[in-house]
Amino acid sequence: MEGVSREEALPCLLKCVASKEVAGFDSIECGTGVSSQAQLAAATNWQGETAGGKEHGDAYGHLPADAISIPVNSALQHDTNLSYSIPKSLPASPYGFHVLQIESGPNEMAPPVLQSANSAAVELEQPKQAKLRSQPIPLGKSRRDSGIDNQRDKRFDPFKTWSGRFERQLSSLRGIPQEHDGEANDGCIVEVEPLPAVDRYFDALEGPELDTLRVSEVSVLPEDKKWPFLLRFPISAFGMCLGVGSQAILWKTLATSPSVGFLHVSLTVNLVLWCMSLVLVSTVSLIYACKIIFYFEAVRREYDHPVRGNFFFAPWIACLFLVQGVPPSVAEKPPTALWYALMAPIFCLEVKVYGQWMSGGQRRLSKVANPSNHLSIVGNFVGALAGASMGLREGPIFFFAVGLAHYTVLFVTLYQRLPTNVTLPKELHPVFFLFVAAPSVASMAWATINGYFDYGSRIAYFVALFLYFSLAVRINLFRGLRFSLAWWAYTFPTTGFSIATIRYSKEVTNAFTQALSVGFSAISTFTVTALLVSTIVHAFVLRDLFPNDISIAITRKGPTSSKPVAPLRSINSTMKGRETLEI
């Protein structure tokens, strides 16, 4: 497996699924123009020459030197004549640098993003034309097209587990001595710690899911072409598993609950959904496992992402859904060992995440709280429900207690809308439906622990009901939103609430509760179906289900302020300084 090239490293089994699912799988397409303002900024930094730089400009294009380790040396090995010309020619003709410095003036904020070896070389070749702020060059002839192995796109290497690591080690071995060579070699300094600090995510990204690059930022990965599939496959894909898995439970409940017996729902629906769910969980897990193996750097960046990080609870919750929704024909009662196996990673993640909330670092709750944190809470209640269903008692109460304590904290914090909660979307957004998840599941969990739907369960259920209604009436939630895979995560709360309603109607059976059960079930099934259709359309028709995952491609240090960005940046940093001091 390691013999094949990395982009093609997916096992055959996977490939036949994934490549069917997503056209353009592993193909790298060329962008043809300036796609965003951010890119424009990047482009103006590029001091390449217009005419002759096309062939080698490709590989070094938009990578800011200080953002990520550029395997300069190894990359340059491909064209030995070029790479060796740098050290020799630099001392001889520093003219290009001089011109550049005059141009940027005494207030230059940050010496050239691309005062890297190659740009310097370019300038040396044609010093006069180097001043031309060239149009971005159509970059990235894909490796497949050219068919030549030594022209494969190396810009993704820093995210690769092996190539990146080895080349980085190699570079740093060579890079460190070069640091002492003086200013001229600044561009060659290789960063050995490419992981951005947490604050960078807040600074560089925006949007309710922190998935859009700010205008002032540049991406470390090329924005003009499609990345390798694995790099574009986000952890939030597990949201699909949550959505379908919860539907399987819903239909199991609809089929078995006496209060909605008049619907005569067959258990077959549950079986079908459960199988779908099982396939989905397996597929997504397998693909993500590959991502962990081959692009560990990218996974780390997802884990560090303030919103995305919460989705790391999703795989385990999805498995718990599988356990909970298992058709009676498949297994009457799942083994309790499974429960312990699934709760262990949830527990570890919680110790990590809740500890970060409390410990005063960059991830303290007054800073990161946002509705997606509910994913890190709801695992407790789902676990408690699953455990109690299996007949366990102390374990479920433990997770219920942990969930309750932290849910109180999160609920209060989110409701308060502290102005310091930078990741909390300014306006309401479908992500707020996650609010409904925790009390819905908590009511069921408590009812299962307790043996019946007592006052405690009802309080939790009614809180969920109120929140559901309160969100549902705000129509403006649903306007002007573009589809994203993360939406799946926002459907499982409504499904969970439907299940809780059926459970409640079992306790209080009357026309009203039965109508509620049917109504909410219909809504949730409709939502999931609509989303499924959207997903299929996006996957096979529009072929944009997995766009470039900009969230993980932020630079480590913030925009290396070229001129026009500079004033903005200084304001920014002043503000940040003040924030640190004051708030």
Task: List contacts with its own copies (CB under 8 A).
Answer: 350-351, 354-355, 357-361, 364-367, 369, 394, 397-398, 400-402, 404-406, 408-409, 411-420, 424-428, 432, 449-450, 455, 458-463, 465-466, 469-470, 473-474, 508, 575, 578-579, 581-583
Of 268 and 408, nearer to its own copies (C-beta) is 408
d(CA 481, CA 531): 13
Task: Identify which of residues 262 and 455 has a Cβ nearer to its own copies in the complex.
Answer: 455
- At 438 the three-state DSSP class reads helix
- Rounded least distance, CB 203 to its own copies, Å: 13
CB atoms within 10 A of CB 526: 11
Please say which residue, 146 or 470, places its beta carbon nearer to its own copies. 470
The distance of closest approach from Cβ of residue 416 to its own copies in the complex, given in angstroms and rounded to an integer, is 5
Q: Provide the 10 A C-beta neighbour count for residue 268.
A: 12
Closest separation between CB of residue 436 and its own copies, Å? Answer: 12
Both tokens of 193, joined, read 């710690």
Burial class of residue 364 in the structure, from the number of CB atoms within 10 Å of its CB (0-12 exposed, 13-18 middle, 19+ buried) = middle
Number of Cβ within a 10 Å radius of residue 382: 34
The span from the CA of 226 to the CA of 231, in Å, is 10
Tell me the C-alpha to C-alpha distance, in Å, between residue 257 and each of 202, 249, 397: 46, 12, 25
d(CA 115, CA 182): 13
Between 147 and 451, CB nearer to its own copies? 451
Alpha-carbon distances, residue 73 vs 68, 158, 184 (angstroms)? 14, 14, 16
| In the complex, least distance from residue 388 CB atom to its own copies, rounded to whole angstroms | 12
Q: Tokens representing 59?
A: 């590989």
**Residue 219 and residue 63 in contact, taking contact as beta carbons nearer than 8 Å:** no
CB of 418 to its own copies, least distance (A): 5
| Degrees to nearest 5, angle at CA 219 with 218 and 222 | 120
Nearer to its own copies, 511 or 583 (CB): 583
Shortest distance, CB of residue 492 to its own copies, whole angstroms? 20
Tokens found for residue 417? 């809308």
Residue 556 beta carbon to its own copies: minimum distance, rounded to whole angstroms: 23
Smallest gap from Cβ 557 to its own copies, in A, equals: 22
Number of H helices, E strands in the chain: 24, 2
Question: Contact 153/146 with Cβ under 8 angstroms?
Answer: no
Beta-bridge partners for 219: 554
CB of 463 to its own copies, least distance (A): 5
Rounded to the nearest 10 degrees, the angle between the axes of helix 238-256 and helix 492-507 is 20
Task: Write down the least CB distance from residue 483 to its own copies, Å.
Answer: 23
Q: Which is closer to its own copies, CB of 88 or CB of 426?
A: 426
Comparison of 137 and 409: residue with beta carbon closer to its own copies: 409
The strand pairing partners of 206, in sequence order, are 212
Closest by CA to 160, choosing from 69, 55, 280, is 69
Category of 554 on φ-ψ map: left (φ > 0), alpha (ψ -120 to 50) or beta: beta
Q: In angstroms, give the least distance from the CB of 527 to its own copies.
A: 21
> Which single residue is written with the structure tokens 């034309």?
129
Name the minimum Å distance from CB 55 to its own copies: 46
Q: Answer for the pair 297, 291: CB distance below 8 angstroms, yes or no.
A: no
Smaller CB distance to its own copies: residue 51 or 401?
Answer: 401
- Alpha carbon distance 112, 571 (integer Å): 21
Q: Can you state the percent helix, strand and coil of the chain, rounding each to 5?
A: 65, 0, 30
Q: Which is nearer to its own copies, 156 or 504 (CB)?
A: 504
| Best CA proximity match to 342, nearest among 300, 374, 304, 380 | 380
Distance of CA 456 to the CA centre of its chain: 36
Count Cβ atoms within 10 A of the Cβ of residue 50 and give its class: 0-12 exposed, 13-18 middle, 19 or more buried: middle
44 vs 572, which CB is nearer to its own copies? 572
Q: How far is the CB of 455 from its own copies (least distance, A)?
A: 7
Cβ closest to its own copies, residue 17 vs residue 428: 428
In the bound state with its own copies, the residue whose beta carbon lies nearer, of 228 and 439, is 439
Chain-centroid distance of CA 312 in Å reads 10
**Closer residue to its own copies (CB): 233 or 468:** 468
* Shortest Å, Cβ 421 to its own copies: 9
Q: Name the H helices within 107-261.
A: 117-125, 143-146, 162-179, 198-204, 229-232, 238-256
Closest approach of Cβ 398 to its own copies, in Å?
Answer: 4
Nearest to its own copies of 213, 404 (CB atom): 404
Nearer to its own copies, 543 or 576 (CB): 576
